[in-house]
Every structure is written in structure tokens, then in C-alpha cells.
């Protein structure tokens, strides 16, 4: 579609997802066995045939850049169709991006150079499907300066989002960024729900540039779309909303699915959604393929080991995995997960390249990449003990950090014996 430029914000630090973001930016966090969080936003544009995309990166972006290069590089001869990573280069000043609007302002030259009629500004760390072209058509039909994607959420979660009020025509007449629950305006006739901004916007490009250049020198601004740009823009009367529930994708449930995976608990819950008998988010829709990078690996292999029979139920197992006489229930194992005999894995998520020794029991555990678990190790059954070694979420999800070797530590008695020996030598 001519005249549409997309700018995807992919510089999020993701501190609430620690330790998964200890060495990577939030959009680069693996998800669903095969993917990265950024893939879902990119698929929403690519499947809608909107192929002029800048991905704005910042914090800990190396793994993200590698993934974008492997999974999303387009042919150099297609100059009018591109997906290009743009690192924070401090072109305007010596500061890192200070807010979502500042990130676009510091890269305004790409808008000015491309001269699009409209600019799509989307986040990159949510799980959902949207045909963005349908939102573009809605935006054009309304003729407004800005269209904000919105979704219905329970009132108790209002403090996480920008909360919107609209009139009968879908025009924004009120906006509050992350209000207290008691102050959040609910949907008329529905006191239990609010209309929340998804952080996805379509601007008329001239309006966007005007607002960015007006906001940039304001020392009282936090240079954020939700906190500064939208509150100044909507009183002019030409800001509209687009409901995700109005978006139609063949083969998908009619109920709109959108997950903010900003915490360990919501991240784990989104994985569990994939394992439901009637999953609200399908990985298998041929009408909406989920593109990503697939390493050259053999199929997952399942073998029995003597009396230890591999028993896999309600689970997703990545390519290159080798399951040797283990029981896996309601879990997602990423690429190259090697699991030995007599292992029990339940309600867990492996991000890839995990090695689990014989006789282990893992319950409600997230293993980051390159983790090795010693034989006989138990995780997830005694949270008090787990907190001494790992990150444990509010809802009891245990996270084992990247590159960890668990259970190979020397027993305390052996350490004490070495100390006594050293003292005697001295």
C-alpha cells in the first residue's frame, strides 16, 4: 500500500521480565518455542503487505539485530520494500531515547525522506494478530489526524494502560495514562471493563511531525505518546480509535486476543494459553503464517529408555529436541531441548538449548537458553528454597537465568572439607 511507513519501537529495556532481559532487549525475548516477541508485530505488517518498516532499537540490541538479519532481511533489489533495523545513533542530541515520542523524533529524518501520507507507530512486545491494513483503511475513512488501536480490558488492570473515552462515532473524548483503578473511566453500560490503548498508532505524517517538533524542546514533557502527545492532540476533535475486536483474520477466533507479556507471570500465562484445548491464539493458521528464523535442525526425537517411556501430553516441542524416556505435560520446549530418562516436566517453558539430567522434576519453571540441569535436581516444588538460587515470580513461576549450570555446585560438606584441609596446611 503506497504512502504508508511503519516504525516499530523495539528498544524496550523490559526490567519486569528480568532475568530474561538480563542480556537482551525485551522484543528479543524468545516466545512459543520458535519465535521472538518482535516477530508478532512484524508479521502483522508483512501479512498485511505493508513492507516499509523501520525497527528502532536501543538497549542490549545485539541478539535482536542478529535475529532481524536472519529472519527478516529482504532482497536489496526491492528498494521500496524493506525491514531495516535502526539503532539509537544520537543524531539529534547526545541522549538515549527519553520516551516513545522522542524515539520517533530522533528518527524523524526517515519520515521526511520517505514522505509517506501516514505513519504507523507500533510496539513490539505484545502477543496478538492484527491485519494492520484494515486499521489503515479505518484511519483513512475517519479522516482523522491520529487513530489509536484499542482493546477492552478488565477495570482492575487499568493502571497498566492508557484509558480511553469515546463518543458514538469512535472519536476520543477523554484519555488518562495509567490512572488509578478507582479513577478509570469504564465503558458505558459495562462497569467492569475499560477501553485501553494498545500503544499502536497511525498518524497523518504532517500532524505527527508538527507534534514531535513542538514537543521536543518542551522541558516539562516526558516525550511520550501516551503522557504528552495524545493528551494534547485529542481535544482538537480528530483523534479516533480502532477496536482490535473489529479486525478480521480468516481462520482466527472472533474474540480478540492480545497479551501484554511485560511480567514473568503474564509471559508464562501467555505460553499456557498456547496449550489450551481451544487456544485463543493459534500458531497453525495457514491464512496468517508466523514468519521467523528456523535454524537447520532435525525433527524432534522421542525415544524410550528401558522401562522409562517417553510420555508427551499437551505440549509443544521444538526442532532438534531429544526426549529420552521422560514425561512432559503441559509444557513448551524450544529448539534443542535434551531431556534424559525419568524426568518429569510440568507447566514449564524452555527457551532453547536446555539439557536436563536424569531423574529431575521441574514444575512451573522457565529455563532461559543454554541452561544445564544436573541429574536429580528438583525445581518448583519448594519455592522458599528456590528463591535462594533463582528468580521466583509473585505467582510462583521459577526462572533459571541464561547460561546457568544448576546442581553442579559442590556440596557444602565438600567445601568445608577443603577449608579444613587448607587451614591445616597453613
Tens-digit pLDDT profile for residues 260-273: 999 999 999 999 99
pLDDT tens for each residue of 99-110: 899 999 999 999
Q: Are 288 and 252 in contact (CB under 8 A)?
A: yes
pLDDT at 98 over 90: no
Q: For residue 198, is the peptide bond before it cis, meaning its omega torsion is within 30 degrees of 0?
A: no
Residue 418 clears pLDDT 50, i.e. is over it: no
Q: Are 65 and 85 in contact (CB under 8 A)?
A: yes
For residue 357, give Cα distances in angstroms to 323, 337, 353, 372, 387: 11, 11, 13, 8, 21
Confidence of residue 399 (pLDDT cuts 50, 70, 90): very high
190 burial level (CB within 10 Å; 0-12, 13-18, 19+): exposed
Overall average pLDDT of the 31-52 stretch: 96
Reference 43, options 252, 208, 299, 314; nearest CA is 252
Cα separation, 3 vs 51, in Å, equals 11
d(CA 412, CA 323): 32
pLDDT tens digits, one per residue of 331-366? 999 999 999 999 999 999 999 999 999 999 999 999
In this predicted structure, the answer to whether residue 89 has a pLDDT above a threshold of 70 is no
Are 215 and 226 in contact by the 8 Å Cβ rule? The answer is no
How far, in Å, are 203, 415, 420 from residue 188 at the CA level? 27, 66, 73
Place of cell 512432559: 328
User: Residue 94 above 60 pLDDT?
Assistant: no
Q: What is the mean pLDDT of residues 16-23?
A: 94
Direct distance between the N- and C-terminal alpha carbons of the chain, in angstroms, rounded to an integer: 78
Grid cell 523501520 in the structure block, residue: 54
Distance between CA 228 and CA 223 in Å, rounded?
6
Task: Give the C-alpha separation, 139 to 391, whole Å.
Answer: 43
Q: 3-class DSSP state for residue 105? A: helix
* pLDDT of 137 strictly over 60: yes
In this prediction, residues 369-381 reach a mean pLDDT of 97
Amino acid at each position: 500500500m503506497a504512502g504508508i511507513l511503519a516504525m516499530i519501537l523495539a528498544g524496550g529495556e523490559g526490567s519486569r521480565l528480568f532475568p530474561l532481559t538480563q542480556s537482551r532487549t525485551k522484543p528479543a525475548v524468545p516466545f512459543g518455542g520458535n519465535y521472538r516477541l518482535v516477530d508478532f508485530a512484524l508479521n502483522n505488517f508483512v501479512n498485511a503487505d505493508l513492507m516499509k518498516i523501520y525497527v528502532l532499537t536501543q538497549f542490549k540490541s545485539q541478539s535482536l539485530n542478529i535475529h532481524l538479519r536472519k529472519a527478516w532481511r529482504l532482497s536489496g533489489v526491492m528498494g521500496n520494500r524493506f525491514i531495516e533495523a535502526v539503532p539509537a545513533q544520537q543524531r539529534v542530541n547526545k541522549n538515549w531515547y527519553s520516551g516513545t515520542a522522542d524515539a520517533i523524533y530522533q528518527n524523524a529524518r526517515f519520515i521526511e525522506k520517505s514522505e509517506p501520507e501516514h505513519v504507523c507507530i507500533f510496539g513490539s512486545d505484545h502477543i496478538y494478530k492484527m491485519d494492520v491494513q484494515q486499521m489503515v483503511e479505518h484511519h483513512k475513512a475517519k479522516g482523522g489526524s491520529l487513530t489509536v488501536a484499542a482493546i477492552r480490558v478488565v477495570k482492575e488492570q487499568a493502571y497498566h494502560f492508557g484509558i480511553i473515552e469515546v463518543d458514538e462515532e469512535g472519536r476520543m473524548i477523554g484519555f488518562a495514562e495509567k490512572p488509578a483503578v478507582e479513577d478509570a473511566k469504564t465503558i458505558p453500560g459495562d462497569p467492569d471493563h475499560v477501553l485501553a490503548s494498545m500503544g499502536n498508532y497511525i498518524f497523518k505524517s504532517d500532524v505527527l511531525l508538527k507534534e514531535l517538533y513542538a514537543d521536543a524542546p518542551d522541558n516539562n514533557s516526558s516525550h511520550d505518546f501516551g503522557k504528552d502527545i495524545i493528551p494534547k492532540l485529542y481535544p482538537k476533535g480528530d483523534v479516533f480509535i480502532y477496536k482490535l475486536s473489529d479486525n478480521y483474520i480468516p481462520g482466527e477466533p472472533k474474540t480478540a486476543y492480545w497479551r501484554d507479556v511485560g511480567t514473568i507471570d503474564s509471559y508464562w500465562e501467555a505460553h499456557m494459553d498456547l496449550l489450551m484445548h481451544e487456544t485463543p491464539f493459534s500458531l497453525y493458521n495457514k491464512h496468517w503464517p508466523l514468519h521467523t528464523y528456523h535454524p537447520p535442525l532435525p525433527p524432534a526425537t522421542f525415544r524410550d529408555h528401558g522401562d522409562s517411556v517417553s510420555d508427551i501430553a499437551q505440549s509443544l516441542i521444538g526442532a532438534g529436541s531429544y526426549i529420552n524416556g521422560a514425561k512432559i505435560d503441559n509444557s513448551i520446549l524450544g529448539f534443542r531441548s535434551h531431556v534424559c530418562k525419568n524426568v518429569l516436566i510440568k507447566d514449564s517453558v524452555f527457551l532453547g538449548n536446555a539439557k536436563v539430567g536424569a531423574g529431575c522434576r521441574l514444575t512451573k519453571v522457565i529455563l532461559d537458553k543454554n541452561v544445564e540441569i544436573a541429574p536429580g535436581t528438583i525445581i518448583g516444588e519448594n519455592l522458599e528454597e528456590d528463591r535462594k538460587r533463582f528468580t521466583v515470580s509473585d505467582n510462583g513461576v521459577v526462572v533459571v537465568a541464561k547460561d546457568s549450570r544448576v546442581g553442579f555446585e559442590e556440596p557444602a560438606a565438600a567445601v568445608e572439607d577443603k577449608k579444613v584441609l587448607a587451614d591445616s596446611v597453613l
